[in-house]
Amino acid sequence: MGTLVNAENIRGVYYTGAKDVVAVNDVSIKIEEGEVLGLAGESGSGKTTLGSIISLIARPPLHVEHGTLEIDGQVQELGGHAKIPRTWRGAVVSMLPQGAMNSVSPTKRIRHLIYDVMRSHDSKISKGEALDRARERITALGLPTRVLDAYPHQLSGGMKQRTVTIISTLLNPRLLVADEPTSALDVTSQKILIEMLLEMLKERIMSGVIFVTHDLPVLRTAANRIAVMYQGKIVELGPTEIVVERPEHPYTQALMSSVLAPEPAYANTRIEGMSSFDRSLFDAPAVIHK
């Protein structure tokens, strides 16, 4: 199992009118082949920003000051005024957006989007071919083919999220960056979506997934490794069981102990809260588990 993606020295800053906000503070991370890497943290930790930088969609007022992305031996410069080839998006690295609700234009059917995506990467493809491929993929992953003809508002939340997941992976990207894919779903739909992602990974439709979420319990079932972010830096990185059950960084420890899970083990424990910025947590050195 080699390294799929090597992201190095990424620094992302929001240039707002008033003050510049450093959202991602010199972060480096590797994603291995075939793994789901959970990217966890509270709101404002920089995880979504890091996700959007890696999925190559960063744009003003978010500026990537420096950083590189290496995939399959090809190095792509991310910083400054680097030109990112349009065709990388969707085909090499793809995004699965948060809130699939609005990610598809409400006035067009799903199949329009699918055709547009495919012909943007292969200008010679015909509509029939594009839809055939989509249909194969859809049925292989257990969805009814009627979604192709549907308008977004005609699909339920869970169905929409799964449809969008398929659209995001139509071009068999190497890496899929999923931004809070389960946050808007009920528990059953969450389970179905995660199973679908794992299935797709097994089928090598994509070769790696970054799963960005603030929902820690979900990562226990979905992720192989977890990276915990705090104030723009990764403070702990390691296999799921270790990070969840035996975290070593004080922030991770505080985070895990503030999770409410409706399980018997928690029946008699006290849940502690956390303040939003704790200097001591920020200064503690990052913990990387092997």
Partner 1 sequence: MALAKYIGRKVAWTLVVFIVALLLNFLLPRLIPGNPVDAIVGQMARGGGSGGEQLEQIHQHYMQEFGLDKPLWQQFFIYIGNIFQGNLGTSFANYPASVGSLISQALPWSIAIQLPAILIGWIVGNLLGAVAAYKGGWLDRGAFIGSLFLSSVPPFALAIILLFVVGVQLGILPIGGAYSFGLTPEFSLAFFGDAITYFWLPFWSLVLVFIGGQAVGMRSMAIYELGSDYVNYNRGLGVKEGHTVRYIFRNAMLPQFTGLALSIAAIITGGLVTELVFSYPGLGTLLFNAIGQNDYPVISAITLLITIAVLIANLAADILTGFIDPRIRAVQSGER
Partner 2 sequence: MSLRGLSPRFWVSVALVGFVLFVGLIGPLIVSTSPDATVGGLYDKPRCCGPLLLGADNEGQSVMANLVYGTRTSLIIGLVAGLIGTAIGLVVGLVAGYRGGWVDDVLSALVNVGLAIPTLVIVILVSVSLPQRNLYTLAFVIGFTAWFWVARAVRAQSSSIRTREHIDVAKLSGAGFWSILRRDVLPYLLSYVVMACILQISGAILFESTLSMLGLGASNTTSLGTMLYWAIQWGSIRTGAWWAFVPPTLMLTLIVFSLLLLQSSLNEVFNPRLRRGRAARKKAKDEGEELEEVSVEGEDAGPVGSGGMLETPVSAGHGEAR
Query: Minimal distance in Å, beta carbon 104 to partner 2?
Result: 15
Q: Is 19 in the site for partner 2 (CB under 8 A)?
A: no
For residue 227, the SS3 value is: strand
Query: Minimal distance in Å, beta carbon 116 to partner 1?
Result: 4
Residue 14, contacted partner among partner 1, partner 2, none, CB below 5-8 A by kind: partner 2
Cα dist. 18→14, 15, 61 in Å?
Answer: 10, 8, 12
The angle at the Cα of 52, spanning 130 to 71, to the nearest 5 degrees, equals: 70
Q: Is 120 in the site for partner 1 (CB under 8 A)?
A: yes
Distance CA 185, CA 191 (A): 9
Q: Which of 1, 2, 19, 59 binds partner 2 (CB under 8 A)?
A: 59
Pairing between strand 3-15 and 175-179? Answer: unpaired
**Which residues share a beta bridge with 70?**
6, 75
Residue 117, contacted partner among partner 1, partner 2, none, CB below 5-8 A by kind: partner 1
Q: Is 279 in the site for partner 2 (CB under 8 A)?
A: no
Query: Residue 234: in which H helix or E strand, if any?
Result: strand 233-239
Q: Is 269 in the site for partner 2 (CB under 8 A)?
A: no
Read off the tokens for 65: 């000051």
Q: Is 280 in the site for partner 2 (CB under 8 A)?
A: no
Interface region with partner 2, contact rule CB under 8 A, candidates 57-65, 80-88, 142-150, 180-188: 57-65
Cα dist. 142→55, 151, 163, 242 in Å?
Answer: 26, 19, 11, 33
Q: Which of 3, 61, 259, 274 binds partner 2 (CB under 8 A)?
A: 61
Q: Is 233 in the site for partner 1 (CB under 8 A)?
A: no
Residues at the interface with partner 2 (CB under 8 A): 14, 16, 59-62
